[in-house]
Amino acid sequence: MRPCTSQVIGARELQKVLGELLPAATRSDPHRRLRMAYARKAGETDLEVLYYLSLGKGCPDLLLRVTPGQHALPSLANQFPALSWYEREMHDLFGIEFAGHPELQPLILHEGVTTSRPPLIGQVGAPIHYRTSPPTVPTMNATEIQCLPFGPVRADIVESAQFLFYYIGEGILHFHQRLFYKHRGMEQRFEGASPMTGVILAERVSATDTVAHALAFCQACEMALGLLPPPRALCIRAILAELERLVNHLHYFAELARMTTLRVAAAQGSWLEEQVRQINGALTGSRFLRGLLGVGGLRHDLELSGLADRLTTLESGVLDFLGKLEDTRSYLDRLIGTGRLSTDVAMDQGATGPVERASALDRDLRRDRPYGSYRTLRFTVPQESSGDALARARVRRAEVTESLALIRESLARLESGPVSTVRPDEAPDPAGEGLGAVEGTRGGLYYAVHFDPDRKRLLRVKIKEPSFSNWRVFPFTVMDTNLMDYAINEASFGLSIAGADR
């Protein structure tokens, strides 16, 4: 699979090989870690499980391929906690048993689902009776402990999820979350689709990250097919990605102001977000930046001559808003120390994006695995070390400034020329497989694609969304905190349920 190196290993070797490649002594290195794991059908009767690893900055990534005998593998979730949700996902969707898993409860398929086969297994292997069961939650015997079930239907326009709080007074003793109430089976929808249809699907996985999803998918297809987009297309892609980052970060600050009861600030943040959406709409015809990216470049060119002036007008208002927010004592008081995430937990549980960078993990795919025009752009990756809500907000505040600077630099370097290519510029991947990696607003976003032998239709598409990782991390910041800070803590993570649920 381009651009990774691949290694086929046996199921019995898996624990030893992963232990050697990702030893505990190197966990402090944020560039040496598991990126994702997923399963796919490999032939008429077999499954294949793939482990995608980063082996360090400057080193080529590695893809381990394992065939699970009798649809079973040893669980490595105790040794590598970030694997826990991936193993549970593969168990739900492919029926793979992971022996020794510490919490092999349904993740995606809730109780009541009964089928003769797991959803993505097709006709692989013998039919099995497949039934899900409710999750196990702790038994609380003390009479002073109360349970608060919140969701899955929540107030306002908040996405569907259920949270169970076990608490005494305002102190949270235990927190249990359930997502995937609106799982749409997006990965299955790609099966049999053409690359063009795939772009349309990718744009709709998470509306707030239209460009990031489409870009990661296009990169994966381009790697598989040997396509190299023209320089102008690469430059415009970076501009669109930073406009998306800008609008999402402004939405984030509007929500954070609302959760800290700063109504005027929330309205101001929403108005600034709306101004960027209006710029996006005037520039591209889509407030969500849809319908622009295509495999091989862009679907059509853009007229960008007035963008710099509009951003200059916007910037003074943005910086004034962010400066006043951080000068507001009540805002700071609610964020300082709230939802603290330690560096060790962030690393072990797989945090990504601003969440990990606020916990002293210095990682950003635009710099560490540069793609497109990011290879030549100069920018700083903001980082904080306290790991609390204020640190997460400060990382995003600095990223707003960097996004504005990146757009200006890209506009200054923009050259005339074509915006798409339709014929291979280099050798395609022999197996028709490719991987796309993008630093989205919320962190590392990956697409792995597998084509049919004719390279015209997609057989399997795997989406690793940053919110999938950050929702895994989130409960560690809720335990032993208090109920009054919960909403602020959740807002400080900037999570997407649609992105995680897919």
Share of the chain above pLDDT 70, in %: 95
Region of poorest pLDDT, from 304-308, 320-324, 423-427, 494-498:
423-427
The answer to whether the beta carbons of residues 154 and 161 sit under 8 Å apart is yes
Dump pLDDT digits (tens) for 417-447.
999 997 887 878 888 999 999 999 999 999 9
Q: From residue 91, how far is each of 121, 321, 394, 458 by CA, in Å?
A: 11, 46, 38, 23
Report the alpha-carbon distance of residue 61 to residue 56 in Å, rounded. Answer: 8
What is the H or E stretch that residue 464 is in? strand 458-464
* pLDDT above 80: residue 124: no
The answer to whether the beta carbons of residues 244 and 210 sit under 8 Å apart is yes
The answer to whether the beta carbons of residues 269 and 321 sit under 8 Å apart is yes
Measure the CA angle with vertex 223, ends 34 and 59; round to 5°.
40
pLDDT of residue 117: 74
* Helices 210-225, 195-202: inter-axial angle, 10-degree rounding: 160
Q: pTM of the entire structure? A: 0.93
- 5-131 architecture in CATH? 2-Layer Sandwich (3.30)
Q: Which two tokens stand for residue 312?
A: 């200059």
Give one word for 377, left, alpha or beta, with left for phi > 0 and alpha for psi -120 to 50.
Answer: beta
Dump pLDDT digits (tens) for 360-414.
999 999 999 999 999 999 999 999 999 999 999 999 999 999 999 999 999 999 9
pLDDT tier for residue 25 given thresholds of 50, 70 and 90: very low
* Cross-strand bridge partners of residue 433: 450
Handedness of CA 467, 82, 18, 357 (dihedral sign): positive
Handedness of CA 122, 5, 3, 248 (dihedral sign): positive
* pLDDT above 90: residue 125: no
Q: From residue 312, how far is each of 247, 248, 407, 409 by CA, in Å?
A: 15, 18, 11, 13
The answer to whether the beta carbons of residues 269 and 277 sit under 8 Å apart is no
* pLDDT above 70: residue 474: yes
CA dihedral 463, 465, 468, 473 (to 10 degrees): 140
pLDDT, mean over the chain: 90
pLDDT tier for residue 56 given thresholds of 50, 70 and 90: confident
Buried b (16+ CB within 10 A) or exposed e, 156-173: eeebbbbbbbbbeeeebe
Report the alpha-carbon distance of residue 260 to residue 330 in Å, rounded. Answer: 8
Report the alpha-carbon distance of residue 261 to residue 258 in Å, rounded. Answer: 5
pLDDT of residue 141: 79
The answer to whether the beta carbons of residues 252 and 220 sit under 8 Å apart is no
State the DSSP code for 420: B
pLDDT of residue 260: 93
Report the alpha-carbon distance of residue 359 to residue 123 in Å, rounded. Answer: 45
Share of the chain above pLDDT 90, in %: 64
Dump pLDDT digits (tens) for 180-220.
988 888 999 999 999 999 999 999 999 889 999 999 999 99
Q: From residue 116, how far is each of 44, 136, 280 by CA, in Å?
A: 18, 24, 47
The answer to whether the beta carbons of residues 443 and 451 sit under 8 Å apart is no
Name every residue whose Cβ is closer than 8 Å to that of residue 261 and which is 6 or more positions away in sequence: 330
Give one word for 501, left, alpha or beta, with left for phi > 0 and alpha for psi -120 to 50.
Answer: alpha
Task: Extract the runs of DSSP E, i.e. beta strands, from 213-287.
Answer: none
Dump pLDDT digits (tens) for 242-290.
999 999 999 999 999 999 999 999 999 999 999 999 999 999 999 999 9
Name every residue whose Cβ is closer than 8 Å to that of residue 360 and which is 6 or more positions away in sequence: 343, 383, 384, 385, 387
Q: Which two tokens stand for residue 44?
A: 């008429």
* Cross-strand bridge partners of residue 34: 53
| Domain residue ranges of the chain, discontinuous segments joined by + | 5-131, 146-178, 186-501
pLDDT of residue 26: 53
Averaged pLDDT, 92-106: 87
Count the neighbouring beta carbons within 10 Å of the beta carbon of residue 330.
Answer: 10
Report the alpha-carbon distance of residue 318 to residue 350 in Å, rounded. Answer: 31
* pLDDT above 80: residue 298: yes
Pairing of strands 443-451, 130-131: unpaired
Buried b (16+ CB within 10 A) or exposed e, 369-404: bebbbbeebebebbbbebbbbbbbbbbbbbbbbbbb
Which option is the CATH number for 186-501: 1.10.645.10, 3.30.365.10, 1.10.357.10, 3.40.50.1400?
1.10.645.10
